[in-house]
Structure 1
Amino acid sequence: MIQTTDTAKFTTTDLNRFAEELNRDGICVIRGLFERRLIEEWGDAFNELFQKRQNQPGGLAPREQSRYYLTFPWVAPFANVDVFANPVILGILDRVFYQEYKMVQLGADIPVQGSDYQEIHRDFRPLFSDQIVTPLYALAVNFPLVEVTADNGPFQMARGTHVMPREEGLVKVAAGEIPIESFYMQPGDVMIRSPLALHRGSPNRTNTPRPMVVMGYVMHWLHTAKVDLTVQRDYYESLPEQVRELLRCHVVEQLPENKVETYVNFKY
């Protein structure tokens, strides 16, 4: 397994800036965090897994027309401490989460040819109500396994809408007061975003899938019934205690052969 990530070039000042952007805009993008060799390794493994899941009943969760969600098995190359416990990513999370947090999700969003614009939505509800600003209690960490261009379905989001009522945000987006931006990314780039910010997927007009990895992190008290991590005991017990504490997972003696996806309802 390739273990290399380029963390040395990010300073404390950089981490503070990313945290400020995340709090203010609901998103930050870390350019060139992961080595391209690592992304290529994940991409090769994804292609094999995606083909297998396409031929397996329930192996992919439908996400509207020609768009799918896939949970990664907790095996190499996906089970990589340098990725899910990356010091730059955790350094940013440490700055924006007020309490202990857990990793609860590892999967991919995959639009293919024939996909369309999603309805603008949130992935989570507010903590209490739209009248009370919700702190960052859940975050999605995304990175693509291919270059993300205007043609293959870039993620689109309206900055700052994570701290306003949903209907107010929708009105501002519809009026053009807040633009809905496309985020173009190179292999190795990483995006951290609030799932409360208004966003949507856009069409993939190419003949190649556009896999976007999603790692989910939440405050330790948040119940996350729709997603889960299943980890084999020998791997789990090989991890340092601090890394084991990061994971909220089911520990099993043997990973299941066939995964049936259940994370279908995802819009609020």
Structure 2
Amino acid sequence: MVQSLNTTGVSKFTAGDLDRFAEVLNRDGICVIPELFDRELVQEWAAAFDALFRERQQRPGGLAPREKNRYYLTLPWVQPFANTKVFANPTILGVLDRVFFQEYRLVQLGADTPFQDSEYQELHRDFRPLFTDQIVTPLYALAVNFPLVEVTEDNGPFQMARGTHVMPREEALVKIRAGEIPVESFPMQLGDVIIRSPLAIHRGSPNITAQPRPMVVMGYVMHWLHTPVMDLTVQKDYYESLPQHLQEMLRCNVVEQLPENKTETYINFKY
């Protein structure tokens, strides 16, 4: 473990719990951390997200379409979204410290939202292997997800095939189609968090309810990985208010004033 940024508070879990989360993440490509965030925090995000989404809907290019009735948007680096209790949460960073063996950066803060009549996404990965499918890629990028509403089997749960982050893509797809590896749904309560490898084979599932299902995603990568399609823009006064170790963790554009008419850039995401 080279980097330790876990200085923003005390984890709700023991060191043994964090070791277990990291072990499961390395083995399965995903771990679930139950009830990490307070419900009040999540509800505050949900209200702010709803207002933001409705505003972005009216703006050309304000949302990125993700197939039928599914949209992605990058969250602005303002309250309540700019919150060290979330992006620098000591439990999340405690797990990342155990699986990333070099310095890492936060490069993404956004949300994926399926609406009623959305469909299954194609099974896919979000990143390519470092070199070739024949060489197992270590955990060089991780996605941290938490929902803004309760996730059930009906409103579009995230689905993933465990262990496929260490398999060649075609081998994993063959095993999935043959039923050797199940594609599992991950229902979630408010406050639950998932940390997962974007190399694992996964998909979004249909939302058959009348309520949208927003899922926040924070993307963390090794310091040497560059992700030009992602955009993280932070206002200078907020950036300078952060301790130096958190400034260094953010890979972002620092600007005097955040743009008022944000358009979405993160559109291509599947491999």
Q: Same fold (TM over 0.5)?
A: yes
Tell me, in whole angstroms, the C-alpha distance in 1 between the residues paired with 2:9 and 2:164: 31
Equivalent position of 1:61 in the other structure: 64
Equivalent position of 1:153 in the other structure: 156
| Alignment deviations for residues 141-192 of structure 1 (CA, whole Å, 9 cap, x no partner) | 0000000001100000000000000000000000110000000000100000
Contact 2:11 2:91 (C-alpha < 8 Å) held by counterparts:
no
Are 1:124 and 2:127 matched, yes or no?
yes
Are 1:72 and 2:91 matched, yes or no?
no
| SS of equivalent to 2:230 | coil
Distance change >3 Å, CA 101–CA 6, structure 1 → 2: closer
The gaps in structure 1 that reach 5 residues or longer are: none
| SS of equivalent to 1:236 | helix
Map 1:1-268 to 2 at 5 A: 8-268=11-271
| Alignment deviations for residues 72-99 of structure 1 (CA, whole Å, 9 cap, x no partner) | 0000000000100000000000000110
Residue 23 of structure 1 aligns with an amino acid whose one-letter code is N
1:17 positional shift: 0.3
| SS of equivalent to 1:20 | helix
| Alignment deviations for residues 211-268 of structure 1 (CA, whole Å, 9 cap, x no partner) | 0000000000001011011000000000011111110000000000011111111110
Distance change >3 Å, CA 7–CA 212, structure 1 → 2: farther
Equivalent position of 2:5 in the other structure: none
1:8 positional shift: 4.7
Contact 1:6 1:34 (C-alpha < 8 Å) held by counterparts:
no
| Alignment deviations for residues 94-119 of structure 1 (CA, whole Å, 9 cap, x no partner) | 00011000000000000001100000
Contact 1:158 1:181 (C-alpha < 8 Å) held by counterparts:
yes
- Number of residue pairs matched? 264
1:67 positional shift: 0.4
Contact 2:12 2:91 (C-alpha < 8 Å) held by counterparts:
no
Aligned CA-pair RMSD: 1.1
Contact 2:9 2:90 (C-alpha < 8 Å) held by counterparts:
no
Residue 148 of structure 1 aligns with an amino acid whose one-letter code is V
| SS of equivalent to 1:106 | strand
1:134 positional shift: 0.1
| SS of equivalent to 2:56 | helix
1:7 positional shift: 5.6
Tell me, in whole angstroms, the C-alpha distance in 2 between the residues paired with 1:129 and 1:65: 32
- Aligned residues: percent identity? 77
| SS of equivalent to 1:170 | helix
Question: TM-score, normalised to structure 2's length?
Answer: 0.96
Distance change >3 Å, CA 152–CA 11, structure 1 → 2: same
Contact 2:147 2:190 (C-alpha < 8 Å) held by counterparts:
yes
Contact 1:122 1:199 (C-alpha < 8 Å) held by counterparts:
yes
Tell me, in whole angstroms, the C-alpha distance in 2 between the residues paired with 1:221 and 1:257: 31
1:9 positional shift: 3.5
Contact 1:105 1:217 (C-alpha < 8 Å) held by counterparts:
yes
Contact 1:120 1:198 (C-alpha < 8 Å) held by counterparts:
yes
Residue 204 of structure 2 aligns with an amino acid whose one-letter code is G
The gaps in structure 2 that reach 5 residues or longer are: 1-7
Tell me, in whole angstroms, the C-alpha distance in 2 between the residues paired with 1:241 and 1:195: 28
| SS of equivalent to 2:247 | helix
| SS of equivalent to 1:262 | coil
